[in-house]
Structure formats: structure tokens, C-alpha cells
Copies of this chain bind each other. A is one copy, B any other.
Amino acid sequence: MRTYLDCVPCFVRQTIDATRLVAGDGEIAERVLRRVLAATARMRMDRPPPFMGREIHRIIRQETGSEDPYASLKKRSTRTALDLVKRVESLIAAAPDPFEAAVRFAIAGNVMDYALATTWDTEKISASIEKAVSCPINTESLRLLKQSASQARDILYIGDNAGETVFDRLLIEHLPKDAVTYAVKGSPVVNDAVYSDAEDAGVGSVARIVSTGCNAPGTILDLCNPEFVDLFEAADLVIAKGQANLETLGDSRRDIFFLTQIKCAVVARDLSAQVGDWLVVHRQPADPTSASSPATQRHAAS
């Protein structure tokens, strides 16, 4: 996905919010904002929004001297998710289709995203968990995912946010044993999970944890390390969580299942979806012999 004009007010707001977490509203915040504005004036709009997001959070870390402005929000997210595990596990076990239920709770966990708002919202998290069983999702893509998962021996599961990782672990428990590699960010960006966040969520007991080597939100392949790119290309099945992975890998040359909540109007419009939708999207690369337009192919693949 390219960057749209409407992404820019959100870049600016995210800059202010993230800086405020560690540096308030003083001189440092003003310096961060001026640098981000100057960088945004030169941004590449042919790249997905997380490309600029990476630059913004690099400037914030540099100017504030904080390696991880979202550290406490991440810890709190993981604790909250761990407190919910027993209840969610029994709901999954009691469901008519435990695999589907595990997918639904993995999408529910995607609510733990602090890119759009940095304020903790217990009610929003509870509402997302309550919604898990009933929220409409694309059952055809879900059926395909279940089928692909049952046959896969080598699954790459690309994580998104800290806390959400706990729910990812519950879904991994419904994937073939010893088949899953779980990818996290190379270093902190927004509240995305890094190695320690995945470990804290217990992911290490069900999957091998690797780093993408990149610290952009989502997964920008040409900024990832070669080991990760090899895994990405070789896996039988790739599952990618969250909106930023859909923004960055949605036009990828391999097939991917995306599990996400839609949180912004720009992404919603790009996907012909609505803000608030829960999506299981199966994207396949265009058949080079086919003459179908990107729009048709996208529709056919979703």
C-alpha cells in the first residue's frame, strides 16, 4: 500500500502522542515535531505508511533519549492479556470450532495497539474480547486458512503488538506442533513486540522466536535481515498480524493470510472495508499470465 495524503495528519498526531509519553510538551517535543515535519515534507509516498512511521519513531527515540517510549504500555498489555488467558482458553476449548475461536481471539488481541491512541483503555480491550465469538469475519478465508494450516510443516507467524502476543500463543497452540516460527521486531517501535515481549507472553514455549531485523511497524522486506527473508520465502504458510503488516506485505510476491482489525479510514478505503472490521484476508500474488487489474485480483483474493 502507498502512503496517502490523509496519512500525514496521523503521522503528526502520532509524533506528538509518542513524544508526550516520555518527554511531555516542552522543548524536546517541539524539536521532535519540527524534525518530523521536515522529514515528512520529503517523504516517499510510493512506500507504505510504516516506512515513514519507522523514521518518525527513530527521531523520537533519538531526541528523547528513550530507547522504548512504549515500554510501560507494552508491559501492561502483556500483564492484562495474561490475566485473560484462562478464560479465553476455556472459551476456545468450548467453542464448536476451537481453531476458528482461536483465530477470533487472535484478532481480538489486535486491539492492543497504541499507534492510534496512547491512552490505556480497559473498556476497549474488554469490548474486543467480548466481541470475539460473534464478530463477523470472512468464513471462506478462514476455511482456507484452516486447510492450509493443517497441511503446513513450516509456518511463519509474523506478530504485531505486545500483549496481542499472548493471544497469538493461543492460536499457535492450534497450529501443527513444532511447525511455527514467530517473528518479532528487531528493536522497539511503537508498542510492537520485540523478543522479550514474545518471551513474556509465553510464545517461546510453542514456537521458535526470530527477529525480522527491521524496526518499521509492519514488515518492510527490503529492510529485514536476509535470514528472515529466507524464512518468509520458504515457509509453507505465512500468517501476518495487524494492519501495518497488511500495509507493508499486502502487495507481496507470496501468498499470506492476514489477521487484523481495521483501525484507520485510509486503510479501510484501500481495502474497501470499514473501520472496526475484523478481517481474515488471503492475499495471493497476481498470476503473471493473468490480465486482471489489481482491483479485481484484490477482490478475488480477499
**A: which residues have CB within 8 A of B?**
4-6, 8-10, 12-13, 16, 25, 29-30, 33-35, 37-38, 40-42, 45
User: What residues on B are CB-neighbors of A38 within 8 Å?
Assistant: 37-38, 41
User: What residues on B are CB-neighbors of A4 within 8 Å?
Assistant: 25
CB < 8 Å neighbour of A25 from B5, B8, B35, B42 = B5
Other contacts beyond A8-B33, A41-B41: 6, CB < 8 A: A5-B30, A5-B33, A8-B12, A9-B13, A34-B41, A34-B42
Tell me the bound Cα distance from A38 to B33 in angstroms. Answer: 12
Task: List the number of copies, as a whole number.
Answer: 2
Cβ-defined contact, B34 with A37, below 8 A: no
Tell me the bound Cα distance from A29 to B42 in angstroms. Answer: 14
User: What residues on B are CB-neighbors of A9 within 8 Å?
Assistant: 9-10, 12-13, 16
Tell me the bound Cα distance from A38 to B40 in angstroms. Answer: 8
User: What residues on B are CB-neighbors of A41 within 8 Å?
Assistant: 34-35, 37-38, 41
Nearest 6 Cβ contacts at the A-B interface: A37-B41, A38-B41, A9-B13, A9-B12, A9-B9, A34-B41
Rounded to whole Å, the gap between the CB of A288 and the closest CB of chain B is: 30
Tell me the bound Cα distance from A131 to B58 in angstroms. Answer: 48
Give the nearest-CB partner of A19 in chain B: B5
Rounded to whole Å, the gap between the CB of A185 and the closest CB of chain B is: 26
Cβ-defined contact, B8 with A37, below 8 A: yes
Rounded to whole Å, the gap between the CB of A233 and the closest CB of chain B is: 34
Write 25 A-B pairs (CB below 8 A) sorted by A numbering: A4-B25, A5-B16, A5-B25, A5-B29, A5-B30, A5-B33, A6-B16, A8-B12, A8-B16, A8-B33, A8-B37, A9-B10, A9-B12, A9-B13, A9-B16, A12-B12, A30-B45, A34-B41, A35-B41, A37-B37, A37-B38, A37-B41, A38-B38, A38-B41, A41-B41
